[in-house]
Amino acid sequence: MKLIGLSTNVTLHDVQQNRTTLKLAANFLERRSEIMNCINERELYGLSTDPEDYNPETDPFEFFIGIEVSSNEDIPEGMVFREIPANTYVLFTFKGPFENAGAVHAYLYSTWLKQSGYELSGLYNIEIYDERNHGPESEESITDIIFPVRKKQ
């Protein structure tokens, strides 16, 4: 999948306390009409990429918000291109504000990975914001979040 959007490096503290990702998303929504080669304008993607040996207490990670495009041509000034490899993904869905994504992560690590026969195969996850999402603070929002996985050896 090819995406064009905006990115920033943040810590988990920034996301929870300073709402850095919400500000980036608002900026992207103001500028998304600048992207000319969109494939599906009804879905936005939030891509979080962790560094190797990520420590959520202290380490920054990249947060990217963007839209799927047909190519990496005509990238608007200040925006970036990301390509997501084909992969097997596990999908979880949560309801409510963006803070509820934390419960999905907790379940993934504390329960699902231990019981599923799968392990993570990448250092990223993708939140999918479609017509069911009514904004990051809405109790009525429905958000999908996917993680790349592979069968344990």
Q: What is the domain-level CATH number for residue 17?
A: 3.20.80.10
Model confidence at 17: pLDDT above 80: no
DSSP lists the bridge partners of residue 142 as 95
Could you give the CA distance from residue 138 to residue 43 in angstroms, rounded to a whole number?
17
Report d(CA 26, CA 137) in Å as an integer. 13
| Residue-wise pLDDT tens digits, 70-87 | 999 999 999 999 999 999
The model's pTM: 0.92
Q: Which residue has the higher pLDDT, 71 or 135?
A: 71
* Domain with 82 in it: 2-151
- Rounded Cα gap, residues 92 and 89, in angstroms: 10
Dihedral sign computed on CA atoms, order 89, 93, 97, 102:
negative
C-alpha span between 153 and 151 (Å, rounded): 6
Please write the tens of the pLDDT for every residue from 39-48. 998 999 999 9
Indicate the number of domains in the chain.
1
Q: What integer pLDDT is reported at residue 99 of this predicted model? A: 85
Amino acid in position 33: S
Is the confidence at residue 64, as pLDDT, over 90? yes
* Tens of pLDDT, residues 99-130: 888 889 889 999 999 999 999 999 999 999 99
Q: Helix, strand, or coil here: 18?
A: helix
